[in-house]
Structure 1
Amino acid sequence: MTNIRTVLVIGSGAMGSQIAMVCANAGLTVTCTDLDQSALDRAESMLRARMDSTVAKGRMTAEQRDAAFERLTLTTDRDSAARTADLVIEAAVEKLVVKRSLFAELADLAPESAILASNSSSFVPSSMASAVTHPGRFCNIHFFNPALVMKCVEVVRGPETTDDTMVAATAFVEEIGKIPVVLEKEIPGFVANRILGAVRDEALHLLEGGYADVEAIDTACRTALGYPMGPFELMDLTGIDIGYLVKKQRFAESGDPKDQPADTVTRLVERGDLGRKTGRGWYIYSDSGEKQGINQL
């Protein structure tokens, strides 16, 4: 397996753009692509603001920041970057049909030695690897939000993933300064999100049963359990629609009513209240991202 020096990230949303920046900060040559130029422009603006803040806090020099941006290209030209990539990381919308279509195309474009990886935690490697040639080079490399800060990265083996792929993917995670958590067997949600999911589901049960409100549950998790933020605050940060789509997909696969999205989650998604990115989720946010109060369900 080739040494990973050139990375292609598909998707310039919050996760994709930050994954790309992490790689560039680590000295790798990175391309981040998106179908929409305006999305790339927003991503660049966000990254520059974050990196300027990092410099202001003394965590890196201005020269290091500028060198990292020199190694990062944001473009709509996905195909050219794919042809020279050692590693492709997909961070597109959480819809399996979209991911499978993307990987089928990427498998024909990228070198046979390239690793193909998804950032998804909801879809296991086998659900996507079957769409590509040489499925042995496929795995999940799952970052956590915000990727520029969070240290954990889950590296997940599918049934056909080769040892070489796992070794190279794990070494890549270490090289970019993250801590790999290796799963030798796939399971939806992997490790961290399965545990978080159990906490989230219980929080929703307590809310919908009328036992406690959003703020009380979040406060209990922060002050009694030591969580940096409560489950509702976390859903607002990551996007309420992300968890909703995961639940919809899981229910479609299992048919188990317990796997359906909670009624309150469905209500928020249908209203377009998706968390911090829309200014409203479980909480209401100011333009600067400060909490202003609890959103009425």
Structure 2
Amino acid sequence: MSAPVFERIGVLGGGLMGAGIAEVCARAGAEVRVVVTTERSRGAARARLERSAGAAAAKGRISAEERDAVLSRVTFGTDLGELADRQLVLESVTEDENTKVKLFRQLDAVLTDPAAVVTTNTSSLPVTRLAEATGHPGRLIGTHFFNPVPAMPLVEITATAHTPEATVARVAEFVTAGLGKEAIRSTDRAGFVVNALLVPYLLAAARMAESGHADAADIDKGMTLGCGHPMGPLRLADLVGIDTLRAVAAGLYEESGDPAYAPPEIFTRMVEAGHRGQKAGRGFHTYT
């Protein structure tokens, strides 16, 4: 295996996306350090990685030796200072602008490599606004991965006016040659490419269920059997997470003012009831 574009990688966040990003980076041969906020989160992030890598080995996608190598390449911590020597830091925390900006400003004081690159996995927030809130706007770039990260082949890359073309090229090479993903480029606009098209579709399905026009099962069956979609929109909303989808939609609506992005009231009621989708066992559908 050739040396990865970035050999020392940091990941901020150990949820489904953060753990998935750590896994694919470790599969590429990089040494990965995941930083989370609490000891409990550290244990949960490690367990997610172990389950995912173990499942990949059980299904024959990677060998048992590769699984062990992946797990050996990833360490977990709670101190942001542990990322000081990283060449690349991939942020994948909650979709909240204030939280992300606070972390990026802390990284300004932590990273020692002047050529270090920082990426954000935001699916809706303006990358330029995040970059300009830091002391080094030229090193922040958008890399939007999709869930589940080890299985989904796409990454959206979003540069800003501050991003040197050499940085864009390094990140694109890392995504394609390093991780084996496909990359598409998007301007820094609401929703980039995928969510600009997908979110209004998911919200329209939620409004249809909310109005009583059809129930969730029939809406999903209509789109899978009638349009050939691999998954219905409400089951996909459950997979994304109702709370996550509501936050993404709210961010898109705030930036664009387009009513197609306005989160429906049913999302608020579902989140308040704890029906946050597949991860909670219940959303538009029920999961065991």
The verdict on a shared fold, with TM-score over 0.5 as the criterion, is: yes
Distance in 2, Cα, partners of 1:5 & 1:41: 24
Which AA in structure 2 matches 1:197? V
Give a deviation string over 1:103-143, Cα, whole Å, max 9, x none. 01112211221111100111121120012122111110110
CA distance 1:153–1:250, shift in 2 (3 Å): closer
Tell me the percent identity. 36
* Off by >6 Å, runs of 4+ in structure 1: none
Which AA in structure 2 matches 1:91? S
1:117 aligns with 2:115: no
CA apart distance, 1:80: 2.0
CA apart distance, 1:210: 2.8
2:59 to 41, 57, 60: 57
1:37 aligns with 2:31: no
Distance in 2, Cα, partners of 1:116 & 1:228: 34
TM-score normalised by structure 2 residue count: 0.93
User: Which residue number in structure 2 is paired with residue 291 of structure 1?
Assistant: none
CA apart distance, 1:259: 4.0
Which AA in structure 1 matches 2:47? S
Confirm or deny: 8 A CA contact 1:3 1:86 kept in the other structure. no
Q: Which deviates further from its counterpart, 9-18 or 63-72?
A: 63-72
User: Which residue number in structure 1 is paired with residue 235 of structure 2?
Assistant: 233
SS in 2 for 1:160: coil
1:269 to 268, 271, 279: 271
TM-score normalised by structure 1 residue count: 0.90
Q: Which deviates further from its counterpart, 13-22 or 108-117?
A: 108-117
Confirm or deny: 8 A CA contact 2:10 2:32 kept in the other structure. yes
Q: Which runs of 5+ in 2 are unaligned?
A: none
User: Which residue number in structure 1 is paired with residue 9 of structure 2?
Assistant: 7
Matches within 5 A, 1:155-166: 155-166=157-168
SS in 2 for 1:103: helix
Confirm or deny: 8 A CA contact 2:201 2:233 kept in the other structure. yes
Q: Which deviates further from its counterpart, 153-162 or 2-11?
A: 2-11
Which AA in structure 2 matches 1:181? I
Confirm or deny: 8 A CA contact 2:80 2:107 kept in the other structure. no
| Alpha-carbon RMSD | 1.7
2:212 to 204, 210, 213: 210
SS in 2 for 1:121: coil
CA apart distance, 1:89: 0.8
2:185 to 178, 182, 185: 182
Confirm or deny: 8 A CA contact 1:153 1:179 kept in the other structure. yes
1:21 to 20, 23, 27: 23
Which AA in structure 1 matches 2:273? R
